[in-house]
């Protein structure tokens, strides 16, 4: 589904991503882990075609991000770190706007809105202005816009950022429910979230992938040092690469 080959990105001479190589199979849920400024968001933005790599290329479903951004935009759903919402629109109008922009066929627009309203538990607020919704609802509206066109690849940047534990659980269940039909890339600081959702983890540090392994394998390697946890793996990986 995704193939990144020597992807590098520099801003004004500062290297943010340095020869990143990885691939993701269809249907995988992959977690990006890394400290602030590690390059996770930049990598995600390259996969969404929002940024172009300075060197290298990334392919999504066989399409090159440099050559075929239009094709890629049709098959991805993207939730940036701050949900891209128009606060003075109501939820229904916003989702209709998103569906129309994302090439959902005219006859499928209303059924698609209905589906995401149900999947994201938004039915009760569909007529409310987004600006007056709680942070949890806003985040779910952000996820709803990302999945309204049933993308093949879903890219979620900090999807549970700032949510309370109940809302976090709801968002996790939602992501888990997409597993069968969608490849998911998610980045988060909450390690337990990756632990519960992802089958594979990429740890990024200073623009380089320092660990790329399955969750089971990572936890197995950590179990030799006591109770296995992703937190230990993350700290160990960062220390090893100092």
Partner 1 sequence: MSKIFTIAKKELAQYFKSPAAYIILIISCAVFNVFFYMIINENREATLREVFQLMEFMFIFIVPLLTMRVFSEEKMNGTLEFLLTTPTTVWFIVLGKYLGAILFYFVMISVSLVYYLILARFGAPDAAEFISGIIGIMLEGALFISIGLLASSLTRHQIIAAIITYVVLFFLYFCLSFTQYTAGTLESVFRHMSTLSHMENFSQGLIRLSDFVYYFSGISICLWLTHIRLTRE
* Binding residues for partner 1 (CB under 8 A): 45, 48-50, 70, 73-74, 76, 78, 80, 82, 84-89, 93, 97-98, 100-103, 145
Which is closer to partner 1, CB of 70 or CB of 226?
70
Neighbour-count burial for 114-135, b at 16+ CB within 10 Å, e otherwise: eebbebbebeebbeeebeebee
Whole-number minimum distance, CB 31 to partner 1, in Å? 21
Tell me the closest approach of the beta carbon of residue 144 to partner 1, in angstroms.
Answer: 13
Q: How far is the CB of 211 from partner 1 (least distance, A)?
A: 28
The residue (of 103 and 180) whose beta carbon lies closer to partner 1 is 103
Q: Which is nearer to partner 1, 186 or 191 (CB)?
A: 186
Backbone angles phi, psi at 96, to 5 degrees: -65, -45
Residue 74 C-beta: closest distance to partner 1, Å:
5
Q: Are 210 and 242 in contact (CB under 8 A)?
A: no
Name the one residue in this structure whose structure tokens are 């202005």: 129
The Cα-based distances of 173 to 62, 71, 74, 79, 168 in angstroms read: 29, 29, 25, 16, 9
Burial of 167 (0-12, 13-18, 19+ CB in 10 A): middle
When the beta carbons of 96 and 205 are compared against partner 1, the nearer one is: 96
């Amino acid at each position: 589904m995704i193939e990144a080959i020597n992807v590098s990105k520099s801003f004004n001479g500062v290297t943010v991503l340095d020869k990143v190589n990885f691939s993701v199979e269809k249907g995988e849920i992959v977690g990006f882990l890394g400290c602030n400024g590690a390059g996770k968001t930049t990598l995600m933005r390259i996969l969404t075609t929002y940024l172009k790599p300075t060197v290298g290329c990334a392919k999504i479903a066989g399409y090159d991000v440099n050559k075929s951004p239009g094709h890629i935009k049709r098959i991805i759903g993207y939730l940036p770190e701050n949900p891209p919402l128009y606060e003075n629109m109501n939820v229904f109008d916003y989702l209709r706007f998103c569906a129309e922009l994302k090439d959902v066929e005219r006859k499928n627009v209303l059924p698609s809105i209905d589906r995401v309203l149900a999947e994201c538990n938004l039915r009760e607020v569909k007529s409310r202005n987004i600006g007056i919704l709680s942070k949890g609802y806003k985040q779910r509206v952000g996820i709803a816009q990302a999945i309204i066109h049933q993308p093949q690849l879903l890219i979620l940047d900090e999807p549970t950022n700032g949510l309370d534990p109940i809302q976090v659980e709801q968002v996790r269940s939602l992501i888990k429910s997409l597993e069968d039909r969608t490849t998911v890339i998610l980045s988060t600081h909450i390690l337990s979230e990756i632990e519960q959702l992802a089958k594979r983890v990429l740890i990024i540090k200073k623009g380089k992938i320092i660990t790329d392994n399955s969750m089971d394998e990572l936890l197995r390697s950590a179990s030799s040092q006591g109770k296995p946890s992703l937190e230990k793996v993350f700290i160990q990986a960062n220390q090893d690469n100092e």
